[in-house]
A and B are shown apart, each in its own frame.
Chain A
């Protein structure tokens, strides 16, 4: 019995709910350390720089640059029909990095070091952060 594959949607936990709620509202929210001012992502309990537990949620500028990327030519499962698509690691101006899609671009325009801005893409009831070249 083969079930039709579905693309995964993020299942928020108490630690990550603020982040995903932000995405639904069109805001990229990350944590900031009240002691050393570092920004932190993934959502966590302690600052990865100074290990303080005094973290608060703030809005990111949503701006950053491409650290690295790839164009997926052969995808698996529910993603197969989407290929080719561009996956990148983006470093936000605040510091933290995230995996994401680069959307609405000509393939040849994507490069390491290019500036990008966040956008949100709906999947079922969730909104995933994706980035566009600026």
Chain B
């Protein structure tokens, strides 16, 4: 793994317009993202050697990466469709790094896009929600997705005295950041009271503790560190990654207050030779507000049980100790399903390139993304940095 530290870099990153995109199918969003990212990297679509995608939920197909390649008019050396939900983005970056470093391909484009907001029929949306959980041992109890995370929130409150106000503070921070992002799906600022007075979905989670449903796509271009030096934009190097997989079903979790982010973070920090104190800006998976709290603790940004106070103190806001989700995250920037976590990484790339304007973290040099799929199931952590960090 040490061999992969700094061996590859992200040289292109692009977000499509997000929010409601009735003009675009999921495939269209993927193509738009690839085109943008390849241009950002100063390359041509015909240069692409490896293509990694994630299946669409709205229009699932059997060979997704091949479908995108066909639509792009390319014949890649490697096509791979990966499925670890929101965690897919970390898995794909890690596999891209391995493929480039072993010489399987000179470059890899990672693309994900979907149109959950406008593409789903009502029946499809219901069926998709009902398909979460074990078909025999969980689904018959009719837990809507927020209820799965409410179980986690309740356990954290019970164990550590975390409050609804503190969870709401995560949403307030995300919405504030999104208000500074011209492309965000929701740009209205929120107060803690707004969150607490929104309707209760599943105790203790209110509507604004839940993320959005959006359309959107994003893509990354990766290549070797040597090749990266010839690209027009500042290369953002992959310093480390790690994964953690404790369970698939929430009912089988060995802890409801600690997740596979512990193992995932440890591996990524070890490989990158970094510590939480070295991180200037973080992107943490935020499908629901309590998830951010658990990640802050499990990754070592604050001690176990103290994340509530940590966010209440403004630590995750721009200008705070560790600004989190400066684009607004899934809570306020956009959440088009599995592709949602791509924006956590494209945002880090923009931060580390100093391209974020009003929401720029000053002198950002090391970025961390922690992304998860399922119900706290599949965890992945990435550490990225500029040349000075290698």
A interface residue numbers (CB < 8 A to B): 2-3, 5, 7-13, 16, 20, 42, 67-79, 82, 85, 87-89, 97-101, 111-112, 123, 126, 128
A70 touching B154 by the CB < 8 A rule?
A: yes
Q: Nearest residue in B to A99 (C-beta to C-beta)?
A: B251
Bound-state CA distance A113–B126 (Å) is: 33
How close is A1's CB to chain B, nearest CB, in angstroms? 9
B interface residue numbers (CB < 8 A to A): 122-123, 126, 129-130, 133-144, 146-147, 150-155, 158, 199-205, 249-253, 256
Bound-state CA distance A52–B141 (Å) is: 31
B134 touching A69 by the CB < 8 A rule?
A: no
Which residue of A13, A16, A72, A73 is within 8 Å of B142 (Cβ)?
Answer: A72
In this complex, which of B126, B151, B204 has the most chain A Cβ atoms within 10 angstroms of its Cβ? B151
Which residue of A9, A68, A78, A98 is within 8 Å of B256 (Cβ)?
Answer: A68
Bound-state CA distance A82–B142 (Å) is: 10
In this complex, which of A5, A69, A72 has the most chain B Cβ atoms within 10 angstroms of its Cβ? A72
Q: Nearest residue in B to A96 (C-beta to C-beta)?
A: B252
B251 touching A78 by the CB < 8 A rule?
A: no
A74 touching B202 by the CB < 8 A rule?
A: yes
Main secondary structure of the interface of A (DSSP, over half): mixed
Q: Nearest residue in B to A123 (C-beta to C-beta)?
A: B140
A87 touching B143 by the CB < 8 A rule?
A: yes
B142 touching A7 by the CB < 8 A rule?
A: yes
Q: Nearest residue in B to A74 (C-beta to C-beta)?
A: B201
How close is A128's CB to chain B, nearest CB, in angstroms? 6
Told that A99-B134, A112-B154 touch, could you supply 9 new A-B pairs with CB distance under 8 A? A2-B122, A10-B140, A77-B126, A87-B141, A89-B256, A98-B251, A99-B133, A99-B250, A112-B155
Please indicate the chain A residues that have their CB under 8 angstroms from the CB of B153 in the complex.
70
Bound-state CA distance A71–B146 (Å) is: 11
Q: Nearest residue in B to A89 (C-beta to C-beta)?
A: B251
26 A–B pairs (Cβ distance < 8 Å), ordered by A: A7-B142, A8-B140, A10-B137, A11-B135, A11-B136, A42-B136, A42-B137, A42-B252, A68-B151, A68-B152, A70-B147, A70-B153, A71-B202, A72-B201, A74-B202, A76-B144, A87-B142, A97-B252, A97-B253, A98-B137, A98-B251, A99-B141, A99-B249, A112-B154, A112-B155, A123-B140
Bound-state CA distance A13–B137 (Å) is: 12
Please indicate the chain A residues that have their CB under 8 angstroms from the CB of B136 in the complex.
10-13, 16, 20, 42
How close is A97's CB to chain B, nearest CB, in angstroms? 6
Bound-state CA distance A99–B130 (Å) is: 15
Please indicate the chain B residues that have their CB under 8 angstroms from the CB of A78 in the complex.
142
Bound-state CA distance A12–B136 (Å) is: 7
A99 touching B143 by the CB < 8 A rule?
A: yes
Q: Nearest residue in B to A86 (C-beta to C-beta)?
A: B203
